[in-house]
């Protein structure tokens, strides 16, 4: 029995990693072929930025839906359905030969990611309560691998398929298909506990709107996510603007994704036994700050900028995901806090790539646009001063529960 339990735990970790690979590939595969899409479909910088901004907006708007759907189908099955939606929408890009349909695929992938994200956090809190930080690292690393492969191979894939960016974008539906297959044993296992989970979900199904600390975490999540998606969208075009080839620009974007992936796994492990998250957030935001300055200055290789910003992105996202887990005690609470944080956070972050695109259209240069990101990194460091230690957060939650009873 113990051996079977260990095998299931290993499979749970593996399947969590694999299914997470599909949660960013549909977004990060856009940047290296952005200029090709823009020229082919005659889209402005603002309209083409919607390919990244729309899914991010949807990831916010539809995040609260996750709790209701999981109440009906359970966490594990709802995750599978949401990943299926991501896969179908990504595959639809094969036929997206005009802007409206391509933008619709962005909306659908965003809805799928919006539902999966909070529920995966709830699943981690339920399945790995003592190792939440490390498992967030596995979750983040899975997304990082998917992002790195999609951004690094989309240009070679386009060349292999007779310069068809449609096929090059659609093939990343494979991640979703494989993810669902390896997730099936998790669904089967969850059905044995369905009645118990159903009762626990029905106890309470509302978001913590009146909690000020959740709002702080929402803004932090939104700003760090907005910076990530801005770089995922505009890093390669920025590198091309200063005279580098499309291949070199794609390589730069890949380096950013790889470094982001590596540190999204390493940093959660490093902070697992350290309840104070502040120094790590400030360090990562500082890496962003220095990386943006080097990119604007142009005197240093864009690869160095990609490494620095990749470290910043790699650390900030998992920490932003860990903070609501620090402040909650049950899988249900973790899902609700994460849903609210992602609801507002992704709406905030969705606006950032659009602002960058608009700044480029107005000034005809990326420098002013990246100064906006520099300003955001400073705000992020200031907000970090209000972040609580892990045991402070848990104490306040427990205290609130005691007071309310």
Give tens-digit pLDDT for 343-395: 888 888 878 878 887 888 888 878 888 898 999 999 999 999 888 776 544 43
Q: What is the pLDDT of residue 307?
A: 95
What is the DSSP track for 258-312?
HHHHHHHHHHHHHTTT----HHHHHHHHHHHHHHHHHHHH-SS-HHHHHHHHHHH
pLDDT band, very low/low/confident/very high, at 16 (cuts 50, 70, 90) = very high
Q: What is the pLDDT of residue 395?
A: 38
For residue 399, is pLDDT > 50?
no
For residue 19, is pLDDT > 90?
yes
Measure the CA–CA gap between 202 and 295, rounded to whole angstroms: 50
Measure the CA–CA gap between 276 and 392, rounded to whole angstroms: 10
Domain count, the chain: 1
pLDDT band, very low/low/confident/very high, at 194 (cuts 50, 70, 90) = low
Q: What is the pLDDT of residue 105?
A: 95
Percent of the chain with pLDDT over 90: 36
- On the 0-12 / 13-18 / 19+ scale of CB atoms within 10 A, 402 is exposed
Domain that holds residue 180: 2-398
Residue 405 lies in a domain: no
State the CATH number of the domain containing residue 267.
Answer: 1.20.1250.20
Residue 127 lies in a domain: yes
**What Cα–Cα distance (Å) separates residue 208 from each residue in 137, 290, 329, 394?**
25, 36, 14, 15
Choice between 1 and 385, residue whose per-residue pLDDT is larger: 385
Mean pLDDT lowest among 176-190, 232-246, 250-264: 232-246
Contact 45, 358 (CB under 8 A): yes
Mean pLDDT, the chain, integer? 84
Give tens-digit pLDDT for 78-96: 999 999 999 999 999 999 8
pLDDT band, very low/low/confident/very high, at 223 (cuts 50, 70, 90) = very high
Mean pLDDT lowest among 19-28, 39-48, 102-111, 309-318: 39-48
At what angle are helices 302-326 and 246-270 packed, to 10 degrees? 30
Measure the CA–CA gap between 325 and 123, rounded to whole angstroms: 11
Residue 404 lies in a domain: no
What are the backbone dihedrals phi and psi of residue 340, each rounded to the nearest 5 degrees, phi first? Answer: -65, -45
Percent of the chain with pLDDT over 70: 91
Q: What is the pLDDT of residue 2?
A: 60
For residue 64, is pLDDT > 60?
yes
CA-nearest of 30, 80, 74, 76 to 54 is 30
Contact 233, 34 (CB under 8 A): yes
Residue 107 lies in a domain: yes
Q: What is the mean pLDDT of residues 103-132?
A: 88
Hey, CA dihedral for 228, 133, 339, 221, is it positive or negative?
Answer: negative
Q: What is the pLDDT of residue 159?
A: 92
Contact 104, 58 (CB under 8 A): no
Choice between 212 and 275, residue whose per-residue pLDDT is larger: 212
- On the 0-12 / 13-18 / 19+ scale of CB atoms within 10 A, 94 is middle
For residue 402, is pLDDT > 60?
no
Q: What is the pLDDT of residue 91?
A: 96
What b-and-e string marks burial along 140-170, b requiring 16 or more CB atoms within 10 Å of the CB?
Answer: bbbbbbbbbbbbbbbbebbeeeeeebbebbb
Residue with tokens 């990194």: 377
**What Cα–Cα distance (Å) separates residue 355 from each residue in 126, 302, 370?**
38, 22, 10
Measure the CA–CA gap between 49 and 22, rounded to whole angstroms: 21
Contact 208, 336 (CB under 8 A): yes
Q: What is the pLDDT of residue 391?
A: 53
Give tens-digit pLDDT for 142-173: 988 898 899 889 989 999 999 999 999 999 99
> How many helices (DSSP H) and strands (DSSP E) are in the chain?
18, 0
Give tens-digit pLDDT for 241-264: 888 887 888 889 889 988 988 898
For residue 331, is pLDDT > 80?
no
Q: Residue 403 CA to chain centroid, in angstroms?
A: 35
Q: What is the pLDDT of residue 5?
A: 66
Measure the CA–CA gap between 125 and 121, rounded to whole angstroms: 6
For residue 203, is pLDDT > 60?
no
Q: What is the pLDDT of residue 286?
A: 95
Q: What is the pLDDT of residue 204?
A: 54
Residue 321 lies in a domain: yes
């Amino acid at each position: 029995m113990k051996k079977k339990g260990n095998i299931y735990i290993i499979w749970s970790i593996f399947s969590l990693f694999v299914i997470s690979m599909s949660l960013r590939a549909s977004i990060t595969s856009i940047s290296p072929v952005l200029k090709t899409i823009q020229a082919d479909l005659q889209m402005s910088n603002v309209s083409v930025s919607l390919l990244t901004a729309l899914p991010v907006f949807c990831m916010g708007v539809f995040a609260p839906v996750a709790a209701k759907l999981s109440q009906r189908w359970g966490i594990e099955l709802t995750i599978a359905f949401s990943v299926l939606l991501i896969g179908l929408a990504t595959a639809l890009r094969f036929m997206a030969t005009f802007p409206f349909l391509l933008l619709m695929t962005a909306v659908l992938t965003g809805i799928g990611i919006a539902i999966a994200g909070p529920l995966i956090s709830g699943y981690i809190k339920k399945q790995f309560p003592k190792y939440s930080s490390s498992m967030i690292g596995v979750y983040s690393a899975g997304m990082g691998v998917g992002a790195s492969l999609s951004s690094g191979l989309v240009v070679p894939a386009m060349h292999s398929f007779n310069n068809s960016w449609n096929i090059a974008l659609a093939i990343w539906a494979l991640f979703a298909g494989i993810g669902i297959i390896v997730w099936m044993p998790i669904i089967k296992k969850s059905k044995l506990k369905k009645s118990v989970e159903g009762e626990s979900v029905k106890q309470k199904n509302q978001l913590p709107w009146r909690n000020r600390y959740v709002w702080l975490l929402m803004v932090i999540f939104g700003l760090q996510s907005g910076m990530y998606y801005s770089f995922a969208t505009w890093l390669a075009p920025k590198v091309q603007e200063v005279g580098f080839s499309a291949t070199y620009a794609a390589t730069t974007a890949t380096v950013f994704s790889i470094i982001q992936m590596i540190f999204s796994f390493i940093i959660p492990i490093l902070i697992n036994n350290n309840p104070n998250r502040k120094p790590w957030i400030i360090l990562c935001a500082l890496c962003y700050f220095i990386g943006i300055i080097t990119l604007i200055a142009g005197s240093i290789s864009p690869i160095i900028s990609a490494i620095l910003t990749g470290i910043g992105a790699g650390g900030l996202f998992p920490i932003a995901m860990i903070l609501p887990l620090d402040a909650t005690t049950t899988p249900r609470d973790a899902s609700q806090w994460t849903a609210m944080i992602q609801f507002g956070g992704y709406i905030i972050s969705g606006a950032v790539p659009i602002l960058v695109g608009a700044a480029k259209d107005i000034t005809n240069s990326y420098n002013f646009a990246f100064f906006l990101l520099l300003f955001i990194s400073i705000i992020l460091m200031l907000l970090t001063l209000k972040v609580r230690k892990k045991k402070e957060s848990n104490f306040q939650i427990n205290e609130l529960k005691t007071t309310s009873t």
